[in-house]
Amino acid sequence: MLRRQLLLVGLAGATTGLARAQEAPLKFGKLDAREAAALLAQPTPDSAAAEVLCDFGQSRIRGKQDGFELRFERTARLLIRRSEGYEHATVRVVLYHDKENGREQISQLKGFTYHLAGTQLSKEPLKTEAVFSRKLDENHDEYAFTLPNVRAGAILEFTYLLTSPFLFNLQDWRFQHDIPVRWSEYRVAIPSFYTYKEMTRTYLPFTVNETGIEQYRTSYQQSGNGFGTSPAYAENLTLTAQALTRRWVLKNAPSFHQEALMTTERDYMSRVDFELERIQFDASRDPVFQVGTWAQIEAQLLRHADFGGFLERDSPLQARAGTLSVQPDPTARAKAVRQLLLESVAYNSTPALYASTPPRRVLELRQGNAADLNLLLVALLRQAGLDAQPLLLSTRGNGRIQTELPMLSQFNYVVAHVALPGGKELLLDATDASLTAGLLPAGCLNEQGRLLGPKGRWVSLAPAAPHFVYTQAKLVLAPTGELSGTIRQEYSGYAAAEHRQPVATLRQQWQKNHPDWQLDQAPLPAAAVAETDANSPVVLHLQARLPGPESSAPTMYLRPLQALSELSNPFRAATRMYPVDFAVAPRLEQHLELTLPAGYTATALPASMQLALPNNGGKFVFQTTPNGPGQLLVVSRLQLTKTRYSAQEYQALREFYTKALAKIAEPIVLQRQ
């Protein structure tokens, strides 16, 4: 199960007594030949190309000139088994900096590559020329180093110290990697005058998860300008307090592999993250909050120049949006405002929480990031007389929101929320013109978002429509076994957005998914151009045939739905550790009217079937019935009613798909009379 823990780093939640000093699990440079031989002799789980033998980190806060700094030490040892694991010889560290407060620094960097030959253990040190850095963005640099002479059987070891003047940036820790980890340990010691929020995620049980108290002592230097003619001075001071300690150990973690139907790996990997909440050096004075309640975060965001300030600025579309206020239906009015914006600005494919440029500039450029477009949408909806507010969310690629932890850093996207009469609501996004108004992009469907404004609350992001694919076919079976006729493919809801393309492109896609069929170049009916209207389903009309063996046979075995279907089983693994997370619940229906050749009779029909998942999780219906003289009606319906299934429900879900596919593949047996 996912374990969610909230720790306020202060004395209230600590265990009594002082924390006992623990031996470090790894001492850099102390590997000998006997230990190396034992490590090499132990098999690597899953026959992985590399594994982490030990990864040990610890964070502390200490005094410095006129303040404090974070000190993060990391020591790790890895084993390379095969050439595919060589990439793990390169280690990357991201460092933060800003113009006002300085930058994070890496120091005391050392590394060795060990090779065992018989009973002799050699070690080669990390070379200076193997260390390099590059700029990632305005506030982040990447510092990387590559250990030397890596080959199969090499044991790698490195250590470094990261110092940071940014007390908000207490180092997070990841216990799992894409290779097995034998031992991962992280320790933090935080003096009582700093309070952090802790967010721990894991589907694996921690071997150690301890909280304690220890005595804290640090020295720092306080400078001053002096008085009158007195020179500037620096005073050395010592500060003592108590510190809360945390220690986590995870042993024998398997390789993390992305499975089908998951959000970002951050939602599943065992990890711990921190955010600075408050600072209080003097108990007689009020604390200084860095991150407070959701209401405080919302107020701060609405004051931000590139968020709340953006909403207050004028734009050339205001007057046109104002003319829409005469529309009496608020839903239709909101959709018209969204359409106005879609026709004026394009999305540059950049998810964002903050606007990148003023509204007028967005319209001049005719493009913008997600915040540019959707904050502008909120402003225009208000201009049209609607009750519109920003709704914060985290995209599926960014990770799920921990609602019990007020942390602005969890969000990376914003959409528009419109309050409608009768307590109804409408969620709007202006980044994807292929979506019907009221449907958020699939990447935004991540449980819930935070509504700003006077009525700030959590809002469900459950999809407003399914991913619905409907196939209707009228086919004639020839004595030679050839099937021919008309096929009508309809895509609704989120399936429509995926398939809102020119008809020629849709035909090519259908042909690629059904390579055995041959498409006739029949004239297209008027309904076939529905993909240009975002408020309508996408409809594809086909005239097609599936060649047979070209000679009649006394007995024919026919599987028409299998030939038409695009259904597959995404759950092939025998077991699963993590939940199944659909962005949108799938729904597939097939309706086939089949005309039999003269002289043939159906002697065996697949038995009807009804399947139901536990907890009302979904259903599958299949039936084949006579539909008049020489005709059969074959119907299949599969529908899931949830978007998230626990790991405990996985076996039932896998079996559900397996049985449904097996039923669709059962033959209709025809005999010539």
Mark whether 299 and 275 lie in a shared domain: no
Percent of the chain with pLDDT over 90: 75
Res 291: pLDDT: 57
**HEC assignment per residue over 405-433:** CCCHHHCCEEEEEEECHHHCEEEECCCCC
Question: Is 11 contained in some domain?
Answer: no
Question: Is 441 contained in some domain?
Answer: yes
**Closest to 180 in 3D by CA, of 27, 37, 39, 22:** 39
Q: Which residue has the tokens 């919302």?
A: 298
| Torsion sign (Cα): 537, 540, 541, 545 | negative
Identify the domain boundary among 289, 310, 333: 289
Sheet strands (E) in 118-207: 120-125, 131-137, 140-146, 155-164, 173-174, 181-191, 194-201
* Tokens linked to 227: 């008085």
Query: How does pLDDT run across 423-452, given as a tens digit for each residue?
Result: 999 999 999 999 999 999 999 999 999 999
Q: Does the structure show a pLDDT above 50 at 364?
A: yes
Query: How does pLDDT run across 110-148, given as a tens digit for each residue?
Result: 999 999 999 999 999 999 999 999 999 888 999 999 999
Mean pLDDT for the stretch of residues 626-650: 95
How many Cα atoms sit within 13 Å of 584 on the Cβ side?
Answer: 23
Rounded to whole angstroms, the Cα distance separating 8 from 280 reads 13
How far, in Å, are 79, 83, 137, 177, 352 from residue 88 at the CA level?
9, 10, 24, 11, 32
Query: How does pLDDT run across 175-203, given as a tens digit for each residue?
Result: 999 999 999 999 999 999 888 888 898 99
Mean pLDDT for the stretch of residues 449-478: 94
Mark whether 301 and 271 lie in a shared domain: no
Query: How does pLDDT run across 67-83, given as a tens digit for each residue?
Result: 889 999 999 999 999 99
Mark whether 266 and 227 lie in a shared domain: yes
Containing structural domain, residue 616: 467-672
Q: Residue 233, Cβ neighbours under 10 Å: how many?
A: 10
501-526: buried (b, 16+ CB within 10 Å) or exposed (e) per residue? eebeebbeebeeebeebeeeeeeeee
Question: Is 12 contained in some domain?
Answer: no
Mean pLDDT for the stretch of residues 19-43: 89
Mark whether 453 and 473 lie in a shared domain: no
Res 293: pLDDT: 81
Q: Residue 481, Cβ neighbours under 10 Å: how many?
A: 19
**Better-scored residue on pLDDT, 398 or 64:** 398
8 Å CB contact between 499 and 538: yes
- The enclosing H or E element of 495 equals helix 494-498
8 Å CB contact between 311 and 378: yes
8 Å CB contact between 345 and 363: yes
Segment among 111-115, 134-138, 297-301, 530-534 with least mean pLDDT: 530-534
Rounded to whole angstroms, the Cα distance separating 405 from 293 reads 9
Res 31: pLDDT: 96
Confidence grade of residue 393 (pLDDT, cut at 50, 70, 90): very high
Instruction: Please give the span between the terminal C-alpha atoms of the chain, in angstroms, as a whole number.
Output: 60
Res 521: pLDDT: 76
Those residues whose C-beta lies under 8 Å from the C-beta of residue 626, and which sit 6 or more positions away, are 602, 632, 633
Cα angle, residue 302 at apex, residues 297 and 305 outer, rounded to 5°: 120
Looking at every residue in the chain, the average pLDDT score rounds to: 90
Mark whether 502 and 624 lie in a shared domain: yes
Mark whether 299 and 284 lie in a shared domain: no
Res 438: pLDDT: 94
Question: Is 571 contained in some domain?
Answer: yes
Mark whether 162 and 260 lie in a shared domain: yes
**HEC assignment per residue over 275-331:** EEEEECCCCCCCCEECCCCHHHHHHHHHHCCCCHHHHCCCCCCHHHHHHHHHCCCHH
Mark whether 248 and 361 lie in a shared domain: no
Confidence grade of residue 17 (pLDDT, cut at 50, 70, 90): very low
pTM for the full predicted model = 0.83
Rounded to whole angstroms, the Cα distance separating 393 from 411 reads 5
Mean pLDDT for the stretch of residues 608-630: 95
Confidence grade of residue 526 (pLDDT, cut at 50, 70, 90): very low
How many residues in total does the chain contain? Answer: 673
**Better-scored residue on pLDDT, 204 or 231:** 204
Identify the domain boundary among 244, 260, 289: 289
Mark whether 396 and 478 lie in a shared domain: no
Rounded to whole angstroms, the Cα distance separating 543 from 486 reads 5
Those residues whose C-beta lies under 8 Å from the C-beta of residue 639, and which sit 6 or more positions away, are 466, 585, 586, 587, 588, 618, 619, 620
Q: Does the structure show a pLDDT above 50 at 11?
A: no
Res 9: pLDDT: 33
Those residues whose C-beta lies under 8 Å from the C-beta of residue 172, and which sit 6 or more positions away, are 271, 272, 273, 274
Question: Is 401 contained in some domain?
Answer: yes
| Structural domain count of the chain | 3
Rounded to whole angstroms, the Cα distance separating 173 from 57 reads 8
Mean pLDDT for the stretch of residues 331-340: 96
**Better-scored residue on pLDDT, 100 or 221:** 100
Q: Does the structure show a pLDDT above 70 at 641?
A: yes
Question: Is 23 contained in some domain?
Answer: no
Helix axes 370-383, 330-342, angle to 10 degrees: 140
Q: Does the structure show a pLDDT above 50 at 6?
A: no
Question: Is 552 contained in some domain?
Answer: yes
Under DSSP, the state recorded for 352 is -
Mark whether 325 and 271 lie in a shared domain: no
How far, in Å, are 44, 45, 177, 185 from residue 52 at the CA level?
10, 11, 8, 12
Identify the domain boundary among 239, 265, 289: 289
**Closest to 201 in 3D by CA, of 458, 404, 402, 408:** 402
Segment among 45-54, 291-300, 379-388, 444-453 with least mean pLDDT: 291-300
Confidence grade of residue 2 (pLDDT, cut at 50, 70, 90): very low
DSSP conformation letters of 201-270: E-SS--SEEEEEEEEEEEEEEEEE--STTPPPEEEEEEEEEEEEEEEEEEEEEPPP-PPSS---GGGTS-
Segment among 237-241, 385-389, 515-519, 610-614 with least mean pLDDT: 237-241
Segment among 264-273, 298-307, 375-384, 523-532 with least mean pLDDT: 523-532
Mark whether 171 and 90 lie in a shared domain: yes
DSSP conformation letters of 602-640: EEE-PPPEEEE-GGG-EEEEEEEEE-STTEEEEEEEEEE
Q: Does the structure show a pLDDT above 70 at 94?
A: yes
Question: Is 16 contained in some domain?
Answer: no
Mark whether 321 and 265 lie in a shared domain: no
Q: Does the structure show a pLDDT above 50 at 10?
A: no
8 Å CB contact between 667 and 597: no
CATH of the domain at 38: 2.60.40.3140
Is 173 strand, coil or helix?
Answer: strand
CATH of the domain at 326: 3.10.620.30
